[in-house]
Amino acid sequence: MSDKEYPYIDLIYNQQVDNRFIIQKKSIKQRIDLLKNLEKEILLHRDEIVEALHKDFRKSKIESESTEIFPVLSEIRLFCKNLNEWSKSKSVSNNFVFFGSKAIIQIEPKGNCLIISPWNYPFQLAMMHLVACIAAGNTAILKPSEFTEHTNSVLNKILGNVFESNHVQLLYGEIDETSYILSKKFDHIHFTGSPNVGKIVMEAGAKHLSSVTLELGGKSPLVIDEAFDIKKAVSKAIWGKLINNGQTCIAPDYILIHESKEVEFVEEFKRQMEKTFGHDPKESKDLARIINTRNFNRVKDLIQNAIELGADCPYGNEYDGYELYIKPTILRNIPQEAEILKEEIFGPVFPILTYNSIENAIHYINTAEKPLALYIFSNNKELINNVTENTSSGAVMVNDLLIHIMHPNLPFGGVNNSGIGSSTGYFGFLDFSHQKPVLKVNQLFSPTKFLNYPYNAFTQKIINLMIKYL
């Protein structure tokens, strides 16, 4: 943790701690009104958001609006529609021991929260979790990545137009500021980023016994059945991998394809890349760029390391450091010691591995850490069930990529190394809420009436009946 002191962080933190009980008392209508105001501000600043994302990533307008702005607006509208129902106390049934009692689960805010968001989707991932946090009735300090200064500036403007700083505040800063804020006691911490940093966040939360949600990543496989249409497989793989230039936590990290289809996949990939992006993909306005020089060099080094160890590269391996451009790259026959098979890529690289039986593919997946997503391209129900039932991952998606995160009624999250806890929609609301059990006991039939001191033969009979029948 940082040894430096940051008075302005202390000021914001203390204001929110002092104000959290007032915020918790806001009515559901007041929370919904705040969300609607947030929606209006996003729409008012739509062009500024697009421009900022272009400056940070050179993202296209369509990609910025479809992957950054639309998901946030959709989430806000989902919460506005359902928050009244989600926030109601819910009665649960009793067994015979609690005959006549009233048991409910009461939803309450967790309190003062910290949201640490990543650079790869700097608008979407910051706002999606903030929506859930505010809807649940909490205060929030939002710490975005320092890598996306243009998007952060627009975020700060939007939030400042909707919230007081003692309710929601964006904090700028780098590693020292993040370490300092993590030394504070929060009721809940939500972190999105790498497993390595996730361990640091979890350790910080443990010092105060704060609840922690981790959205991490890992190497998400794409399994392609030998009978699946290769043209469809390539088309979907190109889209799912090259959105945000591969800098997506749920992007397919490597491809597992039947050995009989590997060559066909590579040739079809070349054909579709030419058709989609032209002779030189660098000239396409649809492809974003690597976020910064450090990550550009990291991805380039992964490719070079694999090639130096003997991997084949039938497409790609071209770079422009000035533009932070890496040509989409295929790697085949990759030695197991290559770093690209160990590290999450976060770039436009397609490592292709082959299998001769689906059991072989399943074994390979299971020898690695549990991925955030697992994709299956197949029309074979038996194969799909085999992979789904014999692997563990944050989510499984069949015959498409990425879009499971947009489903309004499914949780999003990882398992173990790929994450802890769930987010988005109702599950995001629960993530930032405490489900408090409340039991109102009927005094006439209270269990303690029959189990209280002094113990005697009658007490023993009651215990015997409970053990036998309940």
Catalytically active residues are 215, 249
Beta bridge partners of 349: 329
Cβ pair 341, 254 in contact under 8 A: yes
> What is the rounded (10 degree) CA torsion for 38, 39, 40, 42?
90
In the structure, how many helices (H) and strands (E) does the chain have? 17, 18
Contact between 192 and 213 under an 8 Å Cβ cutoff? The reply is no
CA distance 311 to 384: 30
Which of 300, 305, 352 is CA-nearest to residue 323? 300
Q: What stretches of 278-357 show up as alpha helix (H) in DSSP?
A: 293-308
Measured from the Cβ of residue 468, the count of other Cβ atoms closer than 10 Å reads: 7
- Angle of helix 70-86 relative to helix 124-135, nearest 10 degrees, comes to 10
Give the CA distances from residue 344 to residues 217, 418, 431, in Å, rounded to whole numbers and listed in that order. Answer: 8, 11, 26
CA distances from 315 to 237, 271, 306 (A): 15, 11, 14
Cβ atoms 59, 120 nearer than 8 A: no
Residues whose CB is less than 8 angstroms from the CB of residue 372 and which lie 6 or more positions away in sequence, other chains included: 216, 217, 218, 220, 249, 250, 393, 394, 395, 414, 418, 419
Residues across the chain: 470
Q: Which two tokens stand for residue 336?
A: 């197991």
Distance CA 154, CA 134 (A): 19
Contact 350, 329 (CB under 8 A): yes
